[in-house]
């Protein structure tokens, strides 16, 4: 796809939704009709990533979720537990259509890349079938070198460009945190950026925090906001 990219994570809870909200809000503030697409939301309620993005951007037009499942499990597992139908071809088709409505469209991943999605396919398969460049979100602390490098390798093995890595909740308090950005950049040959912890009492703080902390180069080529 053109005019679309993915925000993927090294696992659950690393901050994909915060970074996605920030990037989409940044684009919208610059005049782009950006829209995030969540192919499937599990743990609903209370988890609702698309609603967080919409709240952060101040409009429901900024985000959509295609399927919501109650069990807080991988989508394929959640569908099995809930006796719900989850069809990979339909997910792929509907995600592509929803992304095409954005300018750009932004796919938010689900957990890590190897999370089972549906019909024996994984999140990585969806990103690859849609041919999306990726922004990788990772934890900033000890252990992130392995998880992040493997995630970048998995994307590249499928022929997908990796635009950047964002190390979330970066404070630089530990030696691991302080050395991780440069080491990861050397390991992956990908630009590595750091995002400090954000106070998210107001979801819009995600947009301000991401825009203020990250450079335009965090976006894939040709998809950065104009004039900012």
d(C-alpha 158, C-alpha 7), whole Å: 16
Angle made by CA atoms 55, 131, 120, in degrees to the nearest 5: 85
Contact 184, 148 (CB under 8 A): yes
Contact 14, 92 (CB under 8 A): no
Contact 6, 107 (CB under 8 A): yes
Question: Is residue 16 among the annotated active site residues?
Answer: no
d(C-alpha 120, C-alpha 42), whole Å: 17
d(C-alpha 110, C-alpha 74), whole Å: 8
Q: What are phi and psi of 140, to 5 degrees?
A: -90, -10
Catalytic residue among 38, 67, 193, 211: 38
Q: Give the alpha-carbon dihedral of 195, 138, 43, 56, to 10 degrees.
A: 20
Q: Say what angle helices 16-29 and 49-57 make with each other, to 10 degrees.
A: 30
Within 10 A of 228 (CB to CB), how many other CB atoms are there?
11
Burial of 3 (0-12, 13-18, 19+ CB in 10 A): middle
Active site residues: 38
């Amino acid at each position: 796809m053109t005019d679309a990219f993915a925000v993927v994570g090294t696992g659950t809870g690393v901050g994909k939704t915060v970074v996605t909200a920030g990037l989409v809000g940044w684009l919208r503030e610059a005049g782009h009709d950006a829209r995030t697409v969540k192919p499937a939301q599990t743990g609903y309620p209370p988890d609702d990533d698309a609603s967080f993005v919409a709240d952060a951007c101040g409009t429901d037009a900024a985000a959509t979720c295609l399927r919501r499942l109650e069990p807080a499990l991988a989508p394929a597992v959640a569908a099995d537990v809930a006796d719900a139908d989850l069809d990979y071809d339909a997910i792929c088709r509907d995600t592509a259509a929803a992304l095409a409505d954005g300018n750009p469209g932004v796919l938010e991943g689900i957990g890590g890349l190897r999370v089972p999605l549906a019909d024996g396919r994984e999140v990585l398969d969806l990103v690859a079938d849609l041919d999306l460049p990726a922004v990788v979100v990772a934890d900033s602390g000890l252990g992130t070198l392995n998880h992040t490098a493997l995630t970048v390798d998995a994307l590249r093995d499928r022929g997908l460009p990796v635009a950047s890595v964002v190390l979330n909740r970066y404070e630089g308090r530990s030696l691991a945190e302080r050395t991780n950005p440069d080491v990861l950049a050397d390991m992956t040959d990908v630009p590595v950026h750091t995002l400090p912890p954000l106070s998210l009492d107001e979801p819009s703080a995600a947009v301000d925090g991401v825009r203020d902390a990250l450079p335009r180069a965090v976006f894939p080529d040709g998809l950065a906001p104009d004039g900012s």
